[in-house]
Amino acid sequence: MYVTAEHLRDQVIRPTLKYLGAWNPATESFLLNSVVKAPELGLFSARNDGLGLFHITAAQHRDLWDRYLAFNPDLASRVRGLASQRAFLSDPDSELQTNLSYCTAIAWLLYQRSGRAVGHENTGARATA
């Protein structure tokens, strides 16, 4: 299956950010660039051993749930609403590989939690959450 950048932006990234109440042109562009330039930017994992479009590691994924979403129940509920009913319970990390909206939401939250401003993604620092 071939997905264009436009399709990813229009059908996945923008709707997911709107669902989270975080959409604006800068956040949309940032996430799209993170996918397109992921190997160059290395934003979400130090190595290419992460999962899904954003190369998020299982450790980053679990840490976000344990140290951030666990203390933000309304946001956690919204994010959980993006995940599959059964697959998430048996293998939550698989959602990063198979569920583009869920993966996008997790990527945005990892970046948001890092405290870095959108537009400063080329500094070489990593959002390790």
Tokens of 22: 């975080």
The pTM of this model reads 0.84
- For the chain, the domains span 5-120
DSSP codes of every residue in 48-94 = TT-BTTTTB-HHHHHHHHHHTGGG-HHHHHHHHHHS-HHHHHH-TTH
Which residues partner with 56 through β-bridges? Answer: 51
Angle between helices 73-82 and 100-114 (to 10 degrees): 150
pLDDT tens series, the chain, 129 aa: 677 899 999 999 999 999 999 999 999 999 999 887 755 444 555 556 789 888 899 999 999 999 999 999 999 999 999 999 888 999 999 999 999 999 999 999 999 998 877 765 443 333 443
Tokens of 30: 């940032």
- Enumerate residues 6+ apart whose C-beta is below 8 A from 55: 38, 44, 45, 48, 49
* Confidence (pLDDT) at 122: 45
* Confidence (pLDDT) at 114: 86
3-state SS class at 35: helix
